[in-house]
């Protein structure tokens, strides 16, 4: 088990999969000679050349359209979005084509396509570069949607994504690229989709989150422990398919739940999780399901205002105290 950053876990996984399968290739803006905006593809252009690490013009619909066609012919493209916010430009290709082709051809065509990249707020990237898009895509049948929180989860889930025969949205919060953790060295290590993990066991309340918000919940759990509140933290990891069994089992044990997500609070995927808990665990709840989400405003550029818009440890503490 090596201790590496989240960024290196993604990069190393790409290398392992490029080496394993000649049909895998990377495509995106500035991923070759420039080595990627967040340097995830550093050195890969020199290692694999222009046929397997393809620099493209600034045209998200074109990139996803080319990748979708390539996937239908049996290749396994991995698209890097410079930011997942830019995938909005390719919604028609992603939702109307990649997500539906298998169904509309009666199962005759497969689309083994991965669309990955930084999603969520970074540091003063402003309103057009800070969207959390995962909830949008988790609304679409035919897609799989993944939001790992740790380096080991990034490796295991990215391998599953590249090897899957369906289109996968793989979102990497930019605030996670520098975190470190132990990662399995096995080149065939995978994590199945639709399986959440218990990041911390507890008995008094369940905090349910994904991506960077898992770490916010773990920090809040440490603070709450000082006051004798034993928190369980559930890392959803995969939004579509969603592991409701692990979530429900946690809530049935603790009888209280707060769902934490970086996306806008109104209509974000956390609202879907909260609704399902309310429907399936109503008789187990001792308090209404709480929600902590991002403020419903365009992301400001000014750092102090940006921080006010992103859920933090204090917001989680307040939500927990509200239901005690």
Q: How far is CA 10 from the centre of its chain?
A: 12
215 catalytic per annotation: no
Exactly one of 60, 80, 134, 262 is catalytic; which is it?
A: 60
Q: How much is the CA Rg of the chain, to the nearest whole Å? A: 19
Exactly one of 97, 129, 131, 215 is catalytic; which is it?
A: 129
Residue 198 and residue 114 in contact, taking contact as beta carbons nearer than 8 Å = no
Going by C-beta distance under 8 Å and a sequence separation of 6 or more, which residues neighbour residue 191?
Answer: 153, 156, 157, 159, 160, 237
Q: How far apart are CA 149 and CA 173, in angstroms?
A: 8
60 catalytic per annotation: yes
The half-sphere exposure of 99 on its side-chain side, counting CA atoms within 13 A, is: 19
Q: How far apart are CA 260 and CA 219, in angstroms?
A: 13
Cα angle 138, 141, 143; round to 5: 65
Identify the CA nearest to 246 among candidates 291, 276, 285, 283.
276
Going by C-beta distance under 8 Å and a sequence separation of 6 or more, which residues neighbour residue 25?
Answer: 18, 51, 52, 53, 54, 70, 75, 76, 77, 78
**Residues forming the active site:** 60, 129
């Amino acid at each position: 088990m090596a201790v590496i950053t989240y960024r290196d876990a993604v990069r190393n996984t790409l290398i392992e999969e490029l080496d394993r399968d000649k049909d895998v290739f990377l495509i995106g803006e500035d991923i070759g000679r420039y080595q990627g905006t967040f340097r995830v593809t550093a050195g890969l252009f020199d290692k694999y050349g222009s046929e397997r690490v393809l620099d493209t013009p600034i045209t998200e619909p074109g990139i996803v359209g080319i990748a979708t066609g390539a996937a239908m012919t049996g290749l396994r493209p991995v698209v890097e979005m410079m930011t997942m916010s830019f995938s909005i430009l390719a919604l028609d290709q992603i939702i109307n084509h990649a997500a539906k082709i298998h169904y509309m051809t009666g199962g005759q065509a497969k689309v083994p396509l991965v669309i990955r990249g930084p999603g969520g707020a970074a540091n003063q990237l402003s309103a057009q570069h800070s969207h959390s898009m995962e909830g949008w895509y988790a609304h679409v049948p035919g897609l799989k949607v993944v939001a790992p929180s740790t380096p080991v989860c990034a490796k295991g889930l990215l391998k599953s994504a590249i090897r899957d025969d369906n289109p996968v949205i793989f979102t990497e919060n930019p605030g996670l690229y520098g975190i470190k953790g132990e990662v399995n060295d096995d080149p065939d290590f995978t994590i199945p989709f639709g399986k959440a993990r218990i990041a911390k066991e507890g008995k008094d309340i369940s905090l349910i989150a994904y991506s960077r918000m898992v770490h916010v919940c773990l920090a809040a759990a440490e603070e709450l422990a000082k006051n004798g509140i034993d928190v369980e933290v559930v890392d959803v990891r995969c939004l579509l398919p969603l592991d409701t069994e692990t979530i429900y089992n946690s809530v049935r044990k603790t009888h209280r739940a707060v769902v934490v997500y970086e996306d806008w609070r109104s209509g974000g995927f956390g609202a879907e999780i909260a609704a399902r808990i309310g429907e399936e665990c109503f008789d187990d709840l001792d308090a209404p399901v709480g929600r902590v989400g991002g403020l419903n405003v365009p992301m400001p550029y000014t750092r102090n205002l940006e921080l006010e818009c992103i859920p933090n440890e204090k917001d989680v503490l307040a939500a927990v105290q509200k239901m005690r």
